[in-house]
Amino acid sequence: MNKPKIGVLVSGRGSNLQSIMDHIAAGDLPLEVAVVISDKAEAKALERAAGAGIATAVVSRKAYDSKQEFEAAIDASLREHQVQLVVLAGFMRILSGFFVQKWQHKIVNIHPALLPSFTGLDAQGQAVRYGVKVSGCTVHFVDEGTDTGPIILQKVVPVLNGDTGETLAARILVEEHKALPEALRLWALGKLQLEGRKVLIKD
Ligand code: GRF
């Protein structure tokens, strides 16, 4: 049986991409990474992908006059590789309605906080400064808002005395590396059912 194909959008380190690749290699994530696209040529994620024999592309915002042309180039690359789901794994740009409408309910993001709390940048630092006692990560479908789309799953970690944004981020990252492959596995097995803004996980 052909495995469903995903495209992963990245900007940096790529530890979440690595986790996806590791789960595929271990045989417990039934999908194929068809292409990894970065807006930054120097992203370590690109090296990780190339090292695993995965197609890569750099689509730089600076190469295009408008955001729409930039996003159209990403869209073209995804379609060229017959991608069925777009995964944002540390992609540090907000996608506009133009792109999100093309991929309605077919974009998944991982965010390092328990949404709807602490959207946007430095979610871990926001959580520490606010003084919450638990935080975590959220895997969700992307809609036209920032970190507002239907939630697929969440994992929780404690916030400890003396935590900084960095120490909390490290604790959350461990859970991100479990949550994203788990959510993608559910998607690949056809177990995610969208009902309004709720995602039901079928048995
Ligand atoms: C992760 O914390 C993710 O939640 C956030 O950006 C970071 C990316 O890390 N969106 P990496 O590039 O996957 O290592």
Q: Could you report the per-residue pLDDT of 12-44, keeping only the tens digit for each?
A: 999 999 999 999 999 999 999 999 999 999 999
Residue at 95: amino acid letter: L
Q: Which of 8, 11, 15, 21 to mutate to test the pocket of ligand 1 (most atoms within 8 A of CB)?
A: 15
Q: Catalytic annotation on 111?
A: yes
Of 143, 152, 156, whose CA–CA distance to 202 is shortest? 152
Q: Which of 173, 175, 178 to mutate to test the pocket of ligand 1 (most atoms within 8 A of CB)?
A: 173
DSSP state, 113?
A: S
Atom of ligand 1 at shortest range from CA of 88: 10
Q: Which residue has the tokens 């056809």?
A: 190
How many angstroms separate the alpha carbon of residue 152 from the centre of ligand 1? 17
| 91: Cα within 13 Å, side-chain hemisphere | 29
Contacts of 72 (CB under 8 A, 6+ apart): 98
What was the pLDDT predicted at 2?
Answer: 86
Of 99, 43, 104, whose CA–CA distance to 70 is shortest? 99
Cβ proximity of 35 and 78 under 8 Å: yes
Q: Which two tokens stand for residue 155?
A: 């994992």
Cβ proximity of 154 and 137 under 8 Å: yes
Low-confidence residues of the chain, pLDDT below 50?
A: none
Of 128, 189, 178, 122, whose CA–CA distance to 153 is shortest? 178
